[in-house]
Amino acid sequence: MSNKGTCQATDCNHEAFAKRYCRKHYRLWKRGEMPKARYKTCTAENCRKPRFRGGLCEAHYAASRGQAPAEASAPVQTATAESS
């Protein structure tokens, strides 16, 4: 394995694996859990979801427009008639 330098994460001196991160920090980066995420994140406070539109994730975008997000809406229940 060639020498790629050390991990760019703060206080980490492990050998770089990919994107100048060690294996551990690269895995975290791929999940979006590093301070500089893999994708642009929602601008709402403490939200780390990927952006959907207008700088917001899908849930916050729907909330800003007064709509319920798709995954949070109540499921449609069908009425069933019970036989006696």
Domain chopping of the chain, boundaries:
1-36, 39-69
Whether 1 has a pLDDT exceeding 60, the answer reads no
Confidence of residue 75 (pLDDT cuts 50, 70, 90): very low
11 or 42, higher pLDDT: 11
CB distance 56 to 42 below 8 Å = yes
DSSP letter at 30?
H
Quickly count: other Cβ atoms within 10 Å of residue 9's Cβ. 20
pLDDT at 6: 93
Quick: pLDDT tens for 41-72: 788 888 878 888 888 888 889 988 887 655 54
Q: Note the pTM of the prediction, 2 decimals.
A: 0.46
Both tokens of residue 8?
Answer: 């760019």
Instruction: Choose among 3, 48, 77: nearest CA to 39.
Output: 48
Q: Which amino acid is at 8?
A: Q
